[in-house]
Amino acid sequence: MSQLSPGPGDAIRVAVSAVIFSLRSDPDADRLMIPLVRRTRAPHEGMWALPGGWPGTTEGLDDAAARTLAETTALTPSYLEQLYTFGDVDRSPTRVVSVVYWALLRSDLVDAQRAVAGAPENVEWFDVDDLPALAFDHNHIAGYALWRLRNKVGYSRIAAGLLPDEFTLTELREVYETVLGRRLDPSNFRRLLEGSEELVPTESFRTGKHRPARLYRYNADAEVETLGPLEA
């Protein structure tokens, strides 16, 4: 029981990985995507994997996740939230326990960071619903992250992490539709959101080829049931 006694824990190594969701534009529509890194050595050389690496001895797990993500992809989300720790015995040729983090990253911030840091080699964005066969158990991990995201979007303001500060109800609905992977009834959606205390109408409007649409923002004063970083 002592945390100082020699034990089998010695033979298990700790890694960190990250699943970063963003809405990337297709010619037709936005798609929910994650960045993957092509492995350059064994095991699974040449396969795509989640960005990640090894925590330093004097580095906390959160810091390690942010650092390894930045080193591999040049991406820096405002906040990474711990998702789950994967430790199946056979998930890697040697015994590795992976502490996985996730984040939402606004598309315009991805582009802005790319403009500064350049696009790293061996990194590409993939549609979460159309991933290739990934290294290790990373398909399983990505699938779990997606399940949690789709589950969470129903009862939280998670969509805020994928939108600018002000947005139209149509833009908000489209984020929900992309994340959930299905169409929502526009009238029902509008009625539900307009009646909630979650959203605050602004005095600004989006103008363009359609008739002007009012911009909304999330109500910072509304009581949020689950105040996790992903909803901040």
Residue 61 or 193 with smaller CB distance to its own copies: 61
Contact status: 1 vs its own copies (CB under 8 A)? yes
Q: Using CA atoms, how far apart are residues 57 and 34, in angstroms rounded to an integer? A: 28
Burial class (CB in 10 A: 0-12, 13-18, 19+), 6: exposed
136 binds its own copies (CB under 8 A): yes
Q: Which is nearer to its own copies, 154 or 186 (CB)?
A: 154
Kindly report the backbone phi and psi dihedral angles of residue 56, in degrees, each rounded to the nearest multiple of 5, phi listed first. -75, 160
28 binds its own copies (CB under 8 A): no
Interface with its own copies: number of residues (CB under 8 A): 52
Minimum distance from residue 110 beta carbon to its own copies (Å): 21
- Of 46, 132, 154, 186, which lies in the binding site for its own copies, with binding defined by CB under 8 A? 154
Tell me: does residue 159 bind its own copies (CB under 8 A): no
Per CB under 8 A, does 54 bind its own copies?
yes
Q: Does 5 bind its own copies (CB under 8 A)?
A: yes
Report d(CA 231, CA 81) in Å as an integer.
Answer: 10
Residue 53 CA, chain-centre distance (Å), reads 17
Catalogue the E-assigned strands of the chain: 13-25, 30-38, 48-49, 52-53, 81-86, 96-104, 123-127, 199-206, 213-218
At 201, the amino acid letter reads: P
14 binds its own copies (CB under 8 A): yes
93-122 residues near its own copies, rule: CB under 8 A: 93-97, 99
Shortest Å distance, C-beta 44 to its own copies: 8
* Single-letter amino acid code for the residue at 48: W
One-letter amino acid identity for 196?
S
Candidate list 47, 61, 193, 213; residue touching its own copies; CB under 8 A: 61
> Is position 43 an interface residue for its own copies (rule: CB under 8 A)?
yes
Distance of CA 11 to the CA centre of its chain: 31
Q: For residues 231 and 160, is the Cβ–Cβ distance under 8 A? A: yes
In the numeric block, which tokens belong to residue 224? 């949020």
By beta-carbon proximity to its own copies, the closer residue of 10 and 28 is 10
Q: Which residue from 46, 60, 181, 212 is in contact with its own copies, where contact means CB under 8 A?
A: 60
Beta carbon of residue 136, minimum distance to its own copies (angstroms, whole number)? 7
- Tokens in use for 8? 């089998």
- The binding site for its own copies (CB under 8 A) comprises 1-5, 7-15, 37, 39-43, 49, 52-61, 68, 72, 82, 84-85, 87-89, 92-97, 99, 136, 151, 154-155, 225-226
